[in-house]
Amino acid sequence: MTRSLVTPVLVVGGGPVGLVLAMCLARHGVEVLVAEMRHRGEPPSVKCNHVSARSMEIFRQLGVAARVRDSGLPAAHCHDVAYRTTTTGVELARIMIPCRRDRFSDTHGPDGHWPTPEPPHRINQLYLEPVLASCAQAMPKLRIANRLQVLDVAQDDHGVTAEARDLGTGERVQIRCQFLIGCDGGSSLVRKKIGATLSGTDFIGRTQSTFIRAPDLLKWLKHPPAWATFSVNPRRCGNVYAIDGVERWLVHNYLRHDEADFDAVDRDRAIRQILGVGSEFRYEVLGQEDWIARRLLADRFRNRRIFICGDAAHIWVPMAGYGMNAGIADAENLAWLLAAHLHGWAPEGILDAYERERLPITEQVSRFAMDHALALQRQREAVPPDIEAETPQGEAARAAAGRALYELNVQQYCCAGLNFGYHYDDSPLIAYDAERAPAYTMASYTPSSVPGCRTPHVWLRDGRSLYDALAAESPTYSLLRFDPRVDVAPLLDAAHRRRMPLALLDVDVPDAAALYGHALVISRPDRHVAWRGAAAPIQPLNLIDRLRGAVGPSPSAGPRFSGPSLH
């Protein structure tokens, strides 16, 4: 017997990216089914620990940011990153990041001044996914089918058919949909089915990753606990993430070049060297998931009605905490494009924007991550032999190492550029003008209203975040007006004629007017600038048609991305 299901959109994989994609679609009023192999409530592997500000902004729109922020480490547990000779050894440097209790009141740290209503959050995937899953399950247009494994996908001119198996009963299930998105992780079946191939750097380094329970570790620390504690010594470099802030820890042991496979290294000995403890120290292994750092990117993110998102489309070393976060940005992007098309106001051409926008950005982020991983490798290989010596030379070595560690790592742990700086340079949906977007680095960012950039965040007079005031559902474009004398009727009429949702928002904040520098700015549903001007354009229908994907690439668009355009 084969069971048949029909849905407008099928998401294969209910990891963090699949869940966010489905939630964004449901919020835009699109019915969506998620097929997930795991049992309902089955924990994911203990991987990701950092949720970027940009992802938290998306969670805010979805109404789950507060629940996510209230989960994870205890409210007063430090989110700092500490560098020590060993976990229990001498501290060399500390990057201050407020605990979640103080996240909105303590602005002293390197990310304290960020222009966002939602600063980053430190939380392990173990805690994050259940929050996302329970919120997703409560959404009326969203269904999650657990224990359902998709085995094959095929498309025709009218839709996609997925063949699946119920892992509980063994029953065959056939699902017919208009669009299918593979959020099925690094070994994605969907990626293979659309003929995409991964390319890049398939080996950067090996990490032995062990999830442990060590109830006594807190008592052994000489310094206050941190969220991440790096061990820097000539014997063994590694990192320990606090998972519950009490007794569970994730220990990463970075293998050296001469350690050619995972089994070549005695795991227990390495863990004790990283922690800086002897054989008397008790701990229990809860799990292990060794991984190879790579930089791989799919050469296409779409084949007609089938798309890939998240790790299915790109896998790289999780530097700067940007693996899942890049996937969540893919998901938000694709969700509004699909919704605009399925609601009937945007032709299929709007879907071309997904790959045109996201592929170059993920390429950029992957290079940032790899370059950073290589810089860290070099730093580990150059640990001074006397870093633990109780001598003036040892003290000087520790001070110098501490400065270097801070300088290099504050860029990845407080990466304003990766959060806010990236811009879409070659989108068919954006009306570019003569000004180029400001350059950015991993850590630095200049807010800008240049089309393609993130819509700069400001606080409104009534204390609300601009982002909370932007029209959220449907999806809807927002017309920001900084001068109430400017006539917007032609633009609103043109949007109305094309049935494209466009909501006017008057922004009466002098600083914002100066920052934006134009009387009118159109912000997309994903908070990127689509157009700006001093007045409505003479032919507003042409602009509206561009925004809804009804015309080809803009003649004024910049050249297609051909490598990292970072300065």
Ligand X SMILES: Cc1cc2nc3c(=O)[nH]c(=O)nc-3n(C[C@H](O)[C@H](O)[C@H](O)COP(=O)(O)OP(=O)(O)OC[C@H]3O[C@@H](n4cnc5c(N)ncnc54)[C@H](O)[C@@H]3O)c2cc1C
- Measured between its terminal Cα atoms, the distance across the chain in Å is 59
State the DSSP H helix or E strand holding residue 8, giving kind and residue range, or none if neither: strand 2-12
- 330 lies in the site for ligand X, by CB under 6 A: no
- In angstroms, the CA 194 to CA 550 distance is 25
The least distance separating ligand X from the CB of residue 239, rounded to whole angstroms, comes to: 10
Our CB check for ligand X shows the closer of 162 and 431 to be 162
Cβ density class 204-228: b for 16+ within 10 Å, e for less: bbbbbbbbbbbeebeeebeeebbbb
- In angstroms, the CA 48 to CA 16 distance is 10
- 428 lies in the site for ligand X, by CB under 6 A: no
Our CB check for ligand X shows the closer of 50 and 528 to be 50
Tokens of 475: 């999806």
Cβ density class 174-192: b for 16+ within 10 Å, e for less: ebebbbbbbbbbbebbbbe
List the one residue from 72, 321, 428, 549 that touches ligand X (CB under 6 A).
Answer: 321
List the one residue from 57, 184, 332, 388 that touches ligand X (CB under 6 A).
Answer: 184
- 458 lies in the site for ligand X, by CB under 6 A: no
Our CB check for ligand X shows the closer of 331 and 437 to be 331
Our CB check for ligand X shows the closer of 16 and 456 to be 16
The distance of Cα 215 from the centroid of its chain, to the nearest Å, equals 32
List the one residue from 324, 401, 405, 494 that touches ligand X (CB under 6 A).
Answer: 324
List the one residue from 11, 12, 78, 453 that touches ligand X (CB under 6 A).
Answer: 12
The least distance separating ligand X from the CB of residue 45, rounded to whole angstroms, comes to: 8
The distance of Cα 93 from the centroid of its chain, to the nearest Å, equals 27
List the one residue from 7, 9, 13, 23 that touches ligand X (CB under 6 A).
Answer: 13
List the one residue from 9, 10, 11, 15 that touches ligand X (CB under 6 A).
Answer: 15
List the one residue from 7, 49, 333, 412 that touches ligand X (CB under 6 A).
Answer: 49
- In angstroms, the CA 432 to CA 126 distance is 42
List the one residue from 109, 245, 318, 402 that touches ligand X (CB under 6 A).
Answer: 318
Our CB check for ligand X shows the closer of 93 and 312 to be 312
- 291 lies in the site for ligand X, by CB under 6 A: yes
Q: Are 10 and 175 in contact (CB under 8 A)?
A: yes
Residues in 517-536 at the binding interface with ligand X, rule: CB under 6 A: none
- Specify the stretch interacting with ligand X by CB under 6 A; choose among 88-96, 279-287, 317-325, 525-533: 317-325
Give, as one character, the DSSP assignment of residue 376: H
Cα–Cα separations (whole angstroms), residue 184 to 160, 195, 376, 451, 522: 17, 15, 30, 32, 34
Bridge-based pairing of strands 228-231 and 81-84 is parallel
- 255 lies in the site for ligand X, by CB under 6 A: no
Our CB check for ligand X shows the closer of 362 and 449 to be 362
Ranges of beta strands (E only) in 57-124 are 81-84, 91-95, 121-122
Q: Are 188 and 15 in contact (CB under 8 A)?
A: no
- 189 lies in the site for ligand X, by CB under 6 A: yes
Number of residues that bind ligand X (CB under 6 A): 33
- Three-state SS letters, 116-167: CCCCCEECCHHHHHHHHHHHHHCCCCEEEEECEEEEEEEECCCCEEEEEEEC
Our CB check for ligand X shows the closer of 43 and 112 to be 43
Give, as one character, the DSSP assignment of residue 554: -
Our CB check for ligand X shows the closer of 7 and 476 to be 7
Q: Give the residue carrying structure tokens 């994903």.
A: 526
- 47 lies in the site for ligand X, by CB under 6 A: yes
The least distance separating ligand X from the CB of residue 80, rounded to whole angstroms, comes to: 15
Give, as one character, the DSSP assignment of residue 531: E
Question: What would the x/- binding string for ligand X be over residues 134 to 173, using CB under 6 A?
Answer: ---------------xx-----------------------
Our CB check for ligand X shows the closer of 162 and 544 to be 162
- 325 lies in the site for ligand X, by CB under 6 A: yes
- 109 lies in the site for ligand X, by CB under 6 A: no
Binding region for ligand X (CB under 6 A): 12-18, 35-38, 47-50, 125, 149-150, 183-185, 189, 209, 291, 310-311, 318, 321-325, 327
